Amino acid sequence: MELKKKFKPRIKARIRKNKQIINRNLDTFFEWIKGAELIELKECNTDEDPVRPELDNIFRRSFGRKIYGVKYMGEIHAVMCFAYTNEIPKDVTELDKFSHDAFLQSAHRDQNVGKIAIAYTVWSKKKGGGKLIVKEVFKKIKKSNHLNRLITLSPLTEMATKFHTRNGAKLLQVNKTTQNFEYQVIKKSLK
């Protein structure tokens, strides 16, 4: 019994110390997220894209399409590519066609391309980067005056399903080679 009493305070002290070390390491590990910023990119390294490496930078920047990155200390840690459309595409061919149509329609109207932001690829080079870029892009879309939906054109993989559902998206539809998730965009009314 006496031996047990001697060890109990030591164990508690060790547990406290380990918790402090773990918390300090976690704070350091995710510290980069606090100083990261969302920027529009002119190009990205398409070889790093695990979803659609076959799409070159010309495709990613044509007809109102955009590339965004999360930058921290001069380095890009996550990338997300968008096409702006007025319809929900079921594959990359429709994505190309719909974004081209939305771009041409905007040239005749108000220069605002599409009503729907289609995220067709996302990847991260650093832990937490994928979630951060989704959050930052989501904020940007909520602030826009013409975009009212954020939808993905995701591969039919468990990883894509888990990523989007963990980040708050709802499965919209399953297509032949892709799936679409929607992030609910609720805009504040101007009163």
7 and 89 share one domain: no
48 and 70 share one domain: yes
Please state the domain count of the chain. Answer: 2
Residue 190 lies in a domain: no
Residue 188 lies in a domain: no
How far apart are the C-alpha atoms of 146 and 144, rounded to whole Å?
A: 6
Please give the single-letter amino acid code of residue 52. R
3-state secondary structure of 139: helix
Residue 14 has pLDDT above 90, yes or no: no
49 and 131 share one domain: yes
47 and 28 share one domain: no
How far apart are the C-alpha atoms of 34 and 129, rounded to whole Å?
A: 11
Residue 191 lies in a domain: no
66 and 157 share one domain: yes
DSSP state of 145: S
156 and 167 share one domain: yes
17 and 84 share one domain: no
The CATH number for 103's domain is: 3.40.630.150
21 and 92 share one domain: no
Burial category of 153 from C-beta neighbours within 10 Å (exposed 0-12, middle 13-18, buried 19 and up):
buried
Residue 120 lies in a domain: yes
Mean pLDDT, residues 21-25: 57
Residues 6+ apart with CB under 8 A from 35: 72, 73
Contact indicator for 93, 53 with CB cutoff of 8 Å: no
**Helix, strand, coil % in the chain, rounded to nearest 5:** 45, 25, 30
21 and 51 share one domain: no
**pLDDT band for position 67 (cuts 50, 70, 90):** very high
7 and 100 share one domain: no
What one-character-per-residue DSSP string does 2-43 give?
A: HHHHHHHHHHHHHHHHHHHHHHHHHHHHHHHHHH-EEEEES-
Mean pLDDT, residues 43-61: 96
pLDDT tens-digit series, residues 121-147: 999 988 888 888 888 888 888 887 778
Residue range of the domain that includes 1: 1-35
